Structure 1
């Protein structure tokens, strides 16, 4: 990851009047058309209450759902022109997901859980093992490579999940309520890790309902009733 500064390439995320309406009858507009640009190396938080449209936004940004209108460019690639298989491959290469629930296999070690993220990308076994170790060291868990998730704290399990998201060297770290299952101490530790990754040049996008989490971003966007708006600080 390069040091943050002036972007040297296209935005990581660019929405051009992107919206999503679920078919009816009657049609339900879940995400109103909007423009959004997230440049390389930004740390952006998206905040909104339950039912505001955060999940729809996550699904669009994460290439899990296709918008019904507008254009979504990921790293300058027009995702609307891709076939399903190509969209899946792009998502696997360019986006690392971190969820509220850690989604770790309980009978696999931390390193094995991270290695599993590379099974289908063609990396040789020996390379997968070393890259998993490197990712765990990056998140401060180099001393817990062989620990099972049941032997890790909640904060450590989330760090393993972050390592798993980083191991494919994505353009974007997309986090959905990453501190939702953590106590305040572990939540602060995980947010500190995200800030550290951002300082190293990673593009971080955190979706949350918690104002304290949203404040940790360098830039905040609000979403309510499917409407996305930039939060301006006066």
Structure 2
């Protein structure tokens, strides 16, 4: 075959940019008065896939408001919030709820486990309103518990679990939907120092696996685990310089 008869090479497909997991554009939240209260003001933030970010600030500074906005529990009253490139302010309430269930996992200071349900049942509850078939939900719950080192405690109820084990079940429950983003609000607040260190080690491992993690904390030792630390004071978010 002559060279001029060869088919022209197919150009490679363009590589599309990956959107940030979190993108806040002058986002704020004000509560009506009188007088009106600016809980969060003009927040600009970009968090890329796989980042581990910690957020610190005194009580009443706006940390909870920040968490509620990023977790799609509240809608900014000014500016915008894009989650994985999706403008969440343009969504209906039902679509926002569905997006939260698919893309975000939550871990709180209190474990919020049902006392008469086993570990695997507590984790499966996170898939109750999803389209995941029952048999698959069990397997996914088992896999999530294995990921946090509790595959040997599937049938234990919370009263038979230590505080650290209960928090691991709560983390497994947050992971079972295979979220894009893990939001943690004081995840070690109810744990002793040694157990807290083990939970932070687990978060480090999840981060090493590529999970995007945002941790709200008042503890400087927890804050230091993040690759980036943000500070909120009087509703204003700033980037804290590394120590």
What's the TM-score, normalizing by structure 1? 0.96
Q: For residues 132-184 of structure 1, give each alpha carbon's deviation from its aligned partner in whole angstroms, at most 9, with x where no partner exists.
A: 00000000001101111101110100000000000000000000000000000
Q: Deviation string for 1:177-224 (max 9, x for gaps)?
A: 000000001100000000000000000000001111000111100011
Q: Alignment length, in residue pairs?
A: 228
The residue aligned with 1:32 is: 41
Structure 1 residue 100: Cα displacement: 0.3
The yes-or-no answer on 1:23 pairing with 2:32 is yes
Runs of 4+ aligned residues of structure 1 deviating over 3 Å after TM superposition are none
Alpha-carbon distance, 1:25 to partner? 1.8
Structure 1 stretch displaced more, 105-114 or 23-32: 23-32
**Deviation of the 1:8 alpha carbon:** 6.1
Secondary structure at the aligned position of 2:152 is classed as helix
Matches within 5 A, 1:159-170: 159-170=168-179
The CA deviation at 1:71 is 0.9
CA contact 2:228–2:242 (8 Å) conserved in 1: no
Q: Which residue of 2 aligns with 1:222?
A: 231
Deviation by residue 1:22-71 (Cα, 9 ceiling, x = unmatched):
11122111101110000000000001111111111111110001000001
- State the match for 1:205 in structure 2: 214
1:10 maps to what in 2? 19
When normalised by structure 2's length, the TM-score is: 0.92
Q: Structure 1 unaligned segments of length 5 or more: list them.
A: 1-6
Superposition CA RMSD, Å: 1.0
1:95-141 Cα distance to aligned partner (Å, 9 max, x none): 00000000000100000000010010011110000000000000000
**Structure 2, unpaired ranges of 5+:** 1-15
- Alignment match of 2:108 (pick from 99, 102, 105): 99
Aligned mate of 1:65, from 59, 74, 83: 74
1:9 shift after superposition: 1.6
- Bigger Rg over Cα: 2
Q: Does 1:157 align with 2:184?
A: no
Counterparts of residues 101-116 of structure 1 (less than 5 Å): 101-116=110-125
SS in 1 for 2:143: helix
Q: 3-state SS of the aligned residue for 2:25? A: strand
In structure 2, the partner of 1:90 is 99
